Amino acid sequence: MSICVATLLYSIDYLPGVFSLGYQLRGAPRDCAKCILVDKGLVRANVLSEQDEKTLKALFDTIIYVDSTEIDVQLLRQNANNLSLLGRPELSLTFLKIELWQLVQYRRIIFLDSDVLVVRKEFWNILDALESQKESEIGAAPDCGWPDLFNSGVLAIVPNRNDYEQLLELLAGQTSLDGADQGILNQYFNAACGFAGETSSRRAWNRLPFVYNVTIPNSGYEWAPALAYFRDQINLVHFIGKKKPWISRNGGRYADQWWQNYNSFLAEFYPGDSGTAKAISKALDHEKERTVTNSQSSQLDDPLSSDLTEMTIEEAPKPEMNWEPTWDATIEPPPPDGKPEAAELLIEENYSWSENTEIALPDLPSMPNTPEIKPVFEWELVHNPDEVERVFPG
């Protein structure tokens, strides 16, 4: 097969996303192969169970195991500072995405991150939009955070050994602008980044419409009206950031759609308790957020003082397996059978002015205190003068 749609599993955190994406891709054209790159470390650590691998084989035509140990400590240290700006230390393993350029058995590859939702099957039109794509060219949609860069969650590439070797060379010699794959790919293919200091007439970014990689959440100024206007044209939705649908309780139209698809997958591949309570929950038990230990700059300067492969492990919350659709006030009116917004609002009738039980008496007005006036005339000293009588002539 000359065309391939591929994804990457480098952390067990993304296993629900991979399952959901693979289930959605079952409607792919017959002449298109479905491939997944899987980090060998997940198998070595017994994090990926035999049942999980069996499910992956049922969803994808080919499983290609890649080795994250090739991403050495020096490479992690080199990109640690920029990666910390994203607050996503686990993305250091996304450099494995470069292995896509080794898959020369395919003429062209469409890559989808595992946190991508297929909204419309017309996303295959990517191939038509980039029909004349050549080696050293990459197809991608602009990134909502900085539109002069492309987002690497959805890519169209032409595999070849030359780009693969040059990408590895660039990765070893340059610091990724974001500490992860998106930065280094922009530095290689994007003229806005100066082709990593070189002038290349062959490298190019072929800009795809945003409807091929609609990243959410998005708080851009034009987001709400543009979403309403282009909604029927959206092909792929990309859940960026830490709050993936299978982890966060934040709802919305597309999160609900993701869960509807995921629950259909569970019903078919993990029926009964084995799906929700055992297989998936067991995988999510291994959800960990990796944090590079770079709290002291001196540790970064001294390669013997710290090992950047040490990670701080935090247990992630286990999601509910059955997702109830939620109302998104930004895109649709309230449901007719919905509860009032304040139906469950708890108000405590406790006011500060009710705490003092003493009765407050008002301040009443009183006569001012005036000094005694001293007498000036002697007659003023007579306190009981004779009563004056008025006499009228007769």
Q: Is the pLDDT of residue 135 over 80?
A: yes
pLDDT confidence tier of residue 91, bands split at 50, 70 and 90: very low
Q: Is the pLDDT of residue 292 over 60?
A: no
Domain residue ranges of the chain, discontinuous segments joined by +:
3-301
Alpha carbon distance 194, 187 (integer Å): 7
- Which has the higher per-residue pLDDT, 275 or 151? 151
Average pLDDT of the residues in 193-204: 70
Residues 209, 210, 214, 215, CA torsion sign? positive
Q: Is the pLDDT of residue 8 over 90?
A: yes
Q: What architecture is domain 3-301?
A: Alpha-Beta Complex (3.90)
Mean pLDDT value across the chain:
77
Residues 60, 261, 123, 283, CA torsion sign? negative
Torsion of CA 323, 329, 332, 338, to 10 degrees: 60
Alpha carbon distance 256, 258 (integer Å): 5
Q: Is the pLDDT of residue 306 over 70?
A: no
Q: What is the pLDDT of residue 310?
A: 34
Torsion of CA 176, 181, 183, 187, to 10 degrees: 90
- Three-class SS of residue 317? coil
Site of tokens 């479905």: 34
Alpha carbon distance 267, 206 (integer Å): 40
Residues 6+ apart with CB under 8 A from 102: 159, 161, 164
Q: What is the pLDDT of residue 394?
A: 65
Q: DSSP of 74-138, one letter per residue? A: HHHHHHHHHHHHHT-GGGGGGGGGGGGGG-TTSSEEEEE-TTEEE--GGGGGHHHHTTT--TTEE
The partner residues of 374 in beta bridges, in order of sequence, read none
Q: What is the pLDDT of residue 318?
A: 43
- Three-class SS of residue 335? coil
- Which has the higher per-residue pLDDT, 102 or 289? 102
- Three-class SS of residue 4? strand
pLDDT tens per residue, range 357-389: 777 677 777 777 777 777 787 777 776 666 667
What is the model's pTM?
Answer: 0.68
Q: Is the pLDDT of residue 140 over 90?
A: yes
Alpha carbon distance 326, 48 (integer Å): 32
Average pLDDT of the residues in 220-233: 88
H/E element, 32: strand 32-39
pLDDT confidence tier of residue 173, bands split at 50, 70 and 90: confident
pLDDT confidence tier of residue 282, bands split at 50, 70 and 90: very low
Q: Do you know the residue count of the chain?
A: 394
pLDDT confidence tier of residue 248, bands split at 50, 70 and 90: confident
Q: What is the pLDDT of residue 300?
A: 39
pLDDT tens per residue, range 31-58: 899 999 998 888 888 888 888 999 999 9
